[in-house]
Chain A
Amino acid sequence: MIFTTLEHILTHISFSIISIVITIHLMILLVHEIVGLRDSLEKGMIATFFSITGLLVSRWISSGHFPLSNLYESLIFLSCSFSIIHMISKMGNHKNDLSTITAPSTIFTQGFATSGFLTEMHQSAILVPALQSQWLMMHVSMMLLSYAALLCGSLLSVALLVITFRKNIDIFFKGNNFLIKSFFFGEIQYLNEKRSVFKNTSFLSFRNYYKYQLTQRLDYWSYRVISLGFTFLTIGILCGAVWANEAWGSYWNWDPKETWAFITWTIFAIYLHTRTRIHIRSRTNQNLQSTNSALVASIGFLIIWICYFGINLLGIGLHSYGSFTLTST
């Protein structure tokens, strides 16, 4: 009994902390830069991570099995993975704005999980025989970590596309924001010194320079995060195949969920291939390449959601543990 109350308390704590974190982010971005608050943001995200992990651990203890048996638990795990990704990206002490993607993602998945759609899954349930295996931990956790990383990376690519194709970027010029300067004179600087844009050593305009810097940064971070996610996805799919061989006798059954996971893998392999080994001779080609790969990553965003959620909605096939029906509550 104590663990269920603990679970409730931790759910509330994680939800509120992350709401505060997002509010502060928005304040900083739109209103006024307060340097001291950045530290508290970091601490806030770490606190969220601990409370979500605590939630999962208390669920584990109270139910006796690893907390990944239905959609609710996998969503909680997904929000935990988002906060892990956030912390990994901060580990190298790079100044990046990945937190603008990870923090809202965490809160949205957490919010959806705890919302009214899935109330019947909130109680810890028993594990069906097919799921009673050590492989459960490895396969499902790897898949969820990879989903989190790939979602972050593809959201960054979507942001890149949006910024590339917008005519006016008004939001960045509210007032004389020091924030922008600190963003853009950051590490990304060295990446751009050799670009053709600096052949003529005068800039086309203030705006184009910042826009270019921002797209370069987004491109780079999207590439790194997606490569990480791709590694996890590979490991997750292969663990799933080995588990299937142990449980059902064949390592690949063209199950809808398996097939869509493979499609996701293929799309992100295409993404990685569009970025490599192509001679870039001019700035326009460079932009074209990054736009192409961003386009592929955006398609990947949709594919991941179909793979994770869409198949569960259909509720067919061997992976039906994660299914749920949309009832109007």
Chain B
Amino acid sequence: MSSLLLNPNRAFSPLSRQVLKASFSSLCSISNARILLGSCPTAHRVVGFTPRASRDSFDAEALPESNTKKKSRNNNKKIILFGSAPSPLSEERGGSAGNASGKPAAEGSSWVFLQRAFKRVLAVLSNLPLAIGQMFTIAALMALGTVIDQGEAPDYYFQKYPEENPVFGFVTWRWVLALGFDHMFTSPVFLGMLILLASSLMACTYTTQIPLVKVARRWSFTHSAEAIRKQDFADSLPRASIQDLGIILMGAGYEIFLKGPSLYAFKGMAGRFAPIGVHLAMLLIMAGGTLSAAGSFRGSVTVPQGLNFVVGDVMNPNGFLSFPSEAFDTEVHVNRFYMDYYDSGEVSQFYTDISLYSLDGKELMRKTIRVNDPLRYGGITIYQTDWGFSALQITKNGEGPFNLAMAPLQLNGDKKLFGTFLPTGDADSPNVKGISMLARDLQSIVLYDQEGKFAGVRRPSSKLPIDINGTRIVVEDAIGSSGLDLKTDPGVPLVYAGFGALMLTTCISYFSHSQIWALQDGTTVIVGGKTNRAKLEFCDEVNRLLDEVPERVTTDKNMNG
């Protein structure tokens, strides 16, 4: 039977609804050009159907009864009854029209003019296609910002986008520098677009989303079976009681409102509010980002082991709101810098043992920091970001120890090469000969003799001597230097709050807001419902719930089968 193929996983529904299978066979005949579709896929619950002209969630025309705005008070403990509000856009339009015409002239025409201008601007900004256009523009600018190399000297752009041979035929360095594309992410064009997007966000939240909340919170009963049948999902249950339906819906997590023969239930209201939360979270993040950009300090320093520096000396302000705090008078002392290695010899982690002293010598804090684990004190954060090789300590022929400064020969991220040179013989002659020492990390030093031939490898911890060209060298110690970044950022708490809010509200806005209306018509209950996001799941869920409504067979009611 074709119905098996229609829904192989579905059992037939309980007896109470097989009464409606009258037109079942006509439903299943696919060969007919005409098919009656009533509701959800089980296909043997058929009401009638009326195509809905609109998909809008708040189309008030679908519930004509409720437009009469009755506001009767409840006299039953489970009842609340309001009239429904008109749709938000007409409300806004009506509001602005009313405002513009109804404002008394006694307040001054300039005030009226300002109000009208404000409302016009608001209406323009909260236009959705405009917002979409802004987002596209921002995305395109960002993409451009990754293609064009940022932050180079103007000379670089002269060479890369020359006037004699423009890229794509028209892009010369004049375009790039004039529009600020060499520092795209702080350029006026980009920041202006961001400001525009923020104002659109605020306008949209104010004009469209907040009225939506007001409408969503008012609910209405319907007293017309026609209105219910017009919903996305509609069905009717013969020989059922609306109270049973209410109880079952309540068990499924709906909030029920029951008055007389009609019922209203909803679930997942948070899904309506969450998009507002998303917009507000984004505004919070933007505000925090602005504060960061305007009021933070940054500094970067490479400190050899054993030396120290004062915080305030290395910090540079970032914007016009940057004010140094008291903590800037702290002295930072690098007690020890060391690295951990894997068995294969590669670096596994960098550690710096740091002490903070106040200017009169009192130790305030001591911590060993490493990458991903910074030190926080008084609003300042100290990060381990880099390392260097400061000096190599050796003894030569028993004399010393001498500190030989190591020069960086190659700095390539984590792969570095340092070298130093110990002259043997006359240090002032033009072609001085000596012993070269190279190192990739603080673990092992490679030594080369006067001719440049490889002589040996020594670890500083081993203290083993090595004889090169008659000189006895003992590598005592490798003194590293720690690369530290310091930062203070007042916008971080705001931005973190915005992040948390954004994550939460994005998750919540995935839920969908479902509403169900029902009417007891004699012994039949007519049910209709709609939801804004998860249409298929809603359909299945309501099917399942309606399956559970018990059939009431009573003998004292006037039934006609």
Contact = CB atoms under 8 A, between A and B. Distances in A.
Given A130-B372, A238-B502, A246-B372, A186 B41 contact: yes
B72 interface: no
Interface string A118-158: 00000000111110110100000000000000000000000
Contacts of B348: 126-127, 129, 132
Contacts of B51: 193-196, 198-199
Interface in B330-360: 342, 344, 346-350
Interface residues on B, range: 35 or more
User: Which of B39, B43, B143 counts the most A-chain CB atoms under 10 A from its CB?
Assistant: B143
Interface stretch (B252-260, B418-426, B466-474, B492-500): B492-500
Nearest to A127: B348
Nearest to A223: B533
Given A193-B38, A202-B34, A259-B142, A224 B534 contact: yes
Contacts of B506: 230-231, 234-235
B2 A254 contact: no
A173 interface: no
Contacts of B135: 266, 269-270, 273
Given A187-B41, A194-B49, A181 B2 contact: yes
Contact of A270 (B132, B342, B349, B414): B132
A235 B503 contact: yes
Contacts of B298: 249
A270 B135 CA distance: 7
Contacts of A195: 51
Given A190-B39, A252-B289, A260 B510 contact: no
A181 B5 CA distance: 8
Contacts of B9: 93, 95
Given A132-B349, A195-B51, A279-B56, A187 B145 contact: no
A41 interface: no
B54 A279 contact: yes
B221 interface: no
Interface in A222-245: 224, 227-228, 230-231, 234-235, 238, 241-242, 245
A16 interface: no
A84 interface: no
Interface residues of A, number: 70
Contacts of A167: none
A260 B138 contact: no
What does DSSP make chain B's interface, helix, strand, loop or mixed? mixed
Interface string B505-539: 01100100000000000000000000001111101
Contact of A234 (B371, B487, B503, B533): B503
A280 interface: yes
A166 interface: no
Contacts of B389: none
A97 B530 CA distance: 25
B372 A194 contact: no
A235 B489 CA distance: 23
Interface string A285-312: 0100000000000000000000000000
A182 to B, nearest CB: 5
A322 interface: no
Interface string B365-395: 0000011111000000101010000000000
B329 interface: no
Given A224-B534, A249-B383, 9 more contacts: A92-B537, A95-B9, A187-B536, A187-B539, A190-B233, A246-B372, A252-B289, A254-B145, A254-B185
6 contacts: A135-B372, A198-B37, A199-B51, A234-B506, A260-B146, A270-B135
Interface of A: 35, 92-95, 126-130, 132-133, 135, 178, 181-182, 185-196, 198-199, 201-203, 220, 224, 227-228, 230-231, 234-235, 238, 241-242, 245-252, 254, 256, 259-260, 262-263, 266-267, 269-270, 273-274, 277-281, 286
